[in-house]
Amino acid sequence: IFKPKSKFKSKSDEKLAPKSYPFIGSYLSIYSNRHRLIQWTSDAVHNSPNFTFLLRRPFGQSRIITGNPTVVQHILKTQFSTYQKGGIFRDTLFDLLGDGIFNVDGDAWKFQRQLSSHEFNTKSLRHFVEHVVDSELNERLLPILTTAAANETVLDLQDILQRFAFDNICKIAFGYDPGYLTPSLPDAKFAVAFEDAVRISSERFRMITPVLWKIQRFLNIGSEKRLKEAVFEIREFAMKILNEKKQELKDKPSIQSVDLLSRFISSGHSDEKFVTDIVISFILAGRDTTSAALTWFFWLIFKNPEVESEIVREINEKSDSPIYDEVKEMVYTHASLCECMRLYPPVPIDTKAATVDDVFPDGTDVKKGMVVSYHPYAMGRMETLWGGDYIEFRPERWLKKDEREEKMRFVPRDPYTYPVFQAGPRICLGKDMAFLQMKRVVAGVLRQFKVVPVVNDGSEPVFVGALTSKMKGGFPVKIKERK
Ligand code: HEM
């Protein structure tokens, strides 16, 4: 599928690899690039032989980062049991995620995966898009945009989309509506606690050594103190909902619940710790991913008006179809979202730990315990994989004319070249749900409005990556009614 080749053409190219020194490793380069770590590691991937490089961190820790699809397939599929969450990932996120699906391996993971996969069957997905997404769209998002258009106010669209996604995922996970997109509702405590806990947990990854945050946690000071409080609030809240749900199901056993929590309780899993852990993982998974993708999507279509026109044409053509059929048939919009996430992946880099010594197909030696990352951001910007126009936003690269039916057909790329949703046995469980949600939002918004970014000095927005990516400083926009 992809032939690794040495990219070092000359001695001067080799100088592009991060410099490493005894004891501190590449810390000086890491520190000077701390505000653009995704872009810096992406450059390092591009400039490395076989697109795999070893990043030496202080105190003898090393991390292998790859953008080579053959290696990605090796990590995510062929040697699936060798590369696990384990180690530093589990340790760093344990306070927030506990033993939720994101943070476990082996039988514990398999069990949660099987149990929750029912939530993603066609019936549940149809309900999700027709009821959950649609009510949030029509009752909350579109009225906010209508008011902003009438008053010509500037909105932070990134913030609004995050709130939208948070309400959606809470309804799926808990059957509970936090109303985070409704500014008049004061009960945003749970959402704020969740936001703080995710931010502080992500910051732990950026510390020079985990010992630092562990000391802070032990002394219960600084951001670790807030993390403890935030996690306490989240768990207390989750427990409250759990008990209410248990009572509700006891009082009305015949009730048709579609949320994850009710499903677990109904199938006999009501252990408080187990159920709260898994629900917290789901909220994390669904919270910032679709909003990150949509934020960059609205920026990209503004920059590429011919793409926006084609999307508007497609959604108007489908406006008489039932909602579920409409979103399923939005082929050009689907391609545009894939193209957007190629350039701006919501999870820009993802990490595993090697459980035994191994050798990658490109010859890289891996030692037991090493941290190993694959880099969707770097891979989306590789000429070898996407051609000379890789930097252009061109949804057509995902489409092919179906000669018999005389219409465009979506042609997916193999998931090891495009691991935006991960790949292999642990591929994102919410992928289909995410596309349905994003396409419904795009149709709802663009049918009625034009989103116009407020760009003061003509500069491009900056991509920042943590656990999930963000647009630095938010996404200020004005909303115009489409004539
Ligand atoms: C554009 C949107 C999304 C993207 C790009 C995305 C991407 C990913 C990625 C890269 C992973 C692997 C993370 C890891 O193991 O470290 C993942 C896992 C997962 N995602 Fe998504 N995700 C999206 C939306 C969603 C949504 C909306 C949900 C839930 C409703 C969801 C549920 C999950 C779950 C449960 C896992 C864990 C799967 C497992 O470990 O077996 N995702 N996703």
109 CA → ligand 1 middle, Å = 14
**Residue 253, CA atoms < 13 Å, CB-side half-sphere:** 3
> Among the atoms of ligand 1, which is closest to the Cα of residue 438?
1
Whether this model's ipTM surpasses 0.95 comes out as yes
Q: Which residue puts its alpha carbon closest to atom 1 of ligand 1?
A: 290
- Averaged pLDDT, 194-208: 88
- Do the beta carbons of residue 113 and residue 429 sit within 8 Å? yes
pLDDT of residue 333: 97
221 CA → ligand 1 middle, Å = 32
CA distances from 229 to 99, 197, 213 (A): 19, 9, 15
Q: Rounded distance, CA 97 to CA 201, Å?
A: 10
290 CA → ligand 1 middle, Å = 10
User: What are the tokens at 410?
Assistant: 């979506």
Mean pLDDT of the chain: 88
Q: Which residue puts its alpha carbon closest to atom 42 of ligand 1?
A: 430
- Do the beta carbons of residue 41 and residue 55 sit within 8 Å? yes
**Pairwise pLDDT comparison (243 vs 344), residue with the higher score:** 344
Q: Mutation test of ligand 1: which of 92, 167, 289, 438 has the most ligand atoms closer than 8 Å to its C-beta?
A: 289
First and final CA of the chain: distance in angstroms?
A: 47
Question: Tens digit of pLDDT for each residue in 353-405?
Answer: 999 999 999 999 999 999 999 999 999 999 999 999 999 999 999 999 887 77
285 CA → ligand 1 middle, Å = 5
Q: Rounded distance, CA 342 to CA 379, Å?
A: 8
Q: Where are the domains of the chain?
A: 1-97+349-387
Q: Which residue puts its alpha carbon closest to atom 9 of ligand 1?
A: 421
Q: Rounded distance, CA 304 to CA 312, Å?
A: 13
Question: Tens digit of pLDDT for each residue in 135-152?
Answer: 999 999 999 999 999 999
Q: Is 334 exposed, middle or buried (0-12, 13-18, 19+ CB in 10 A)?
A: buried
Residue 340 annotated in ligand binding: no
Question: Tens digit of pLDDT for each residue in 338-352?
Answer: 999 999 999 999 999
431 CA → ligand 1 middle, Å = 7
